[in-house]
Amino acid sequence: MSWDIPHDTENLHYKRFLYRVLKMQDHFLWFAPSEENMKDVIDFRDSVYSVGNLFLNYPQNDSKTENIKEKTEAYFERAFLDPEKLFRDTSFDVCNNQLPVGVFRDRVAKKHGLFPYGKSAIDLWAIRADELWIFELKYNNKKVGIITELLFYLWIMEDLCFNQKIKYDSPKEIPSIRDFDKFYYSTEQKNISTIYGVLLVDDLHPAITSELIDFINQENCNKQIIVKTQKYKPHITVQLL
């Protein structure tokens, strides 16, 4: 893979891009950046990623629950806040929405952001025993980019749960907002053995086939990470297919 190097190599979007390139290289043996681009990837890895001083933010406020328009992603996100409704024939110990995934250097503060953060969050997450499940929800949006979104979140969770490259600072009190305390303790105590990433959609881009999902899982070097799809009917009450 080759790309034009931007004038501002400290740009947060470029840092996120380099992270994705680095993780692609780690996970898929057939992928590599070009020689002319390798220096940026190595510099990012050595100066940022390998240092071990990266932190995630955590919820500060409850998410909005009132005056949400019907037939929107926000509406369906809340419709799935039921352990029995997230994935076909699967019940979870806990599930919730809007898990922040802002990544920061040295400490969680605006000027320390490593990637663009803003409203960056995992749509839905759940825990079942030693499994962490994360869901990228789409409604009336079948762009192929859902794959890269899900992989990015999976890799952040991998670095939190398995690699210890990213962590939380030690807050005096773990917030219980949106069950974050349950998520925190499961990850902090290294209780997670498998991470599932699910495309939760009413429809998919035609390029995202079951064969593609199988290919990603087969080629992925980390077998603790598994990609799945779950379709639903977007009625007022959701129905899994």
pLDDT tens digits, one per residue of 79-138: 899 888 899 999 999 999 999 999 999 999 989 999 988 778 999 999 999 999 999 999
Residue 71 has pLDDT above 90, yes or no: no
Dist. CA 230–CA 152, nearest whole Å: 19
Let me know whether 62 and 93 are in one domain.
yes
Let me know whether 88 and 100 are in one domain.
yes
Give the helix/strand (H/E) hosting 56. strand 54-56
Tokens 């100066």: give the residue.
Answer: 47
pLDDT score recorded for residue 157: 98
Q: Percent of the chain scored above 70 by pLDDT?
A: 97
| Structural domain count, the chain | 2
Tell me the CA distances in angstroms from 99 to 37, 134, 213, one per residue in order: 33, 9, 24
The 3-state DSSP class for residue 117 equals coil
Confidence of residue 235 (pLDDT cuts 50, 70, 90): confident
Q: Which residues of 110-146 are buried (b: 16+ CB within 10 A; e: fewer)?
A: eeebbbebeebbbbbbbbbeebbbbbbbbbeeeeeeb
More confident residue, 57 or 235: 57
Tokens 């050595």: give the residue.
Answer: 46
Let me know whether 34 and 62 are in one domain.
no
Length of the chain: 241
Let me know whether 109 and 18 are in one domain.
no
Let me know whether 216 and 153 are in one domain.
yes
pLDDT score recorded for residue 231: 95
Dist. CA 58–CA 174, nearest whole Å: 9
Let me know whether 20 and 104 are in one domain.
no
What is the residue-wise DSSP string for 137-172? EESS---TTHHHHHHHHHHHHHHHHTS-SEE----S
Let me know whether 89 and 31 are in one domain.
no
Let me know whether 30 and 135 are in one domain.
no
Let me know whether 215 and 99 are in one domain.
yes
- Per mean pLDDT, which range of 72-76, 151-155, 203-207 is the poorest? 72-76
pLDDT score recorded for residue 64: 58
- Per mean pLDDT, which range of 25-34, 107-116, 154-163, 206-215 is the poorest? 107-116
Let me know whether 120 and 59 are in one domain.
yes
Confidence of residue 63 (pLDDT cuts 50, 70, 90): low
Tokens 């925190």: give the residue.
Answer: 184
Let me know whether 134 and 180 are in one domain.
yes
Q: Is this model's pTM higher than 0.85 or not?
A: yes
Range of the domain at 12: 1-51
Q: Note the pLDDT tens digit of each residue in 4-28.
A: 999 998 999 999 999 999 999 999 9
Residue 169 has pLDDT above 90, yes or no: no
Let me know whether 185 and 162 are in one domain.
yes
- Mean pLDDT (the chain) is 92
Average pLDDT over residues 177-204: 94
Name the CA radius of gyration of the chain, rounded.
18
Q: Percent of the chain scored above 90 by pLDDT?
A: 73
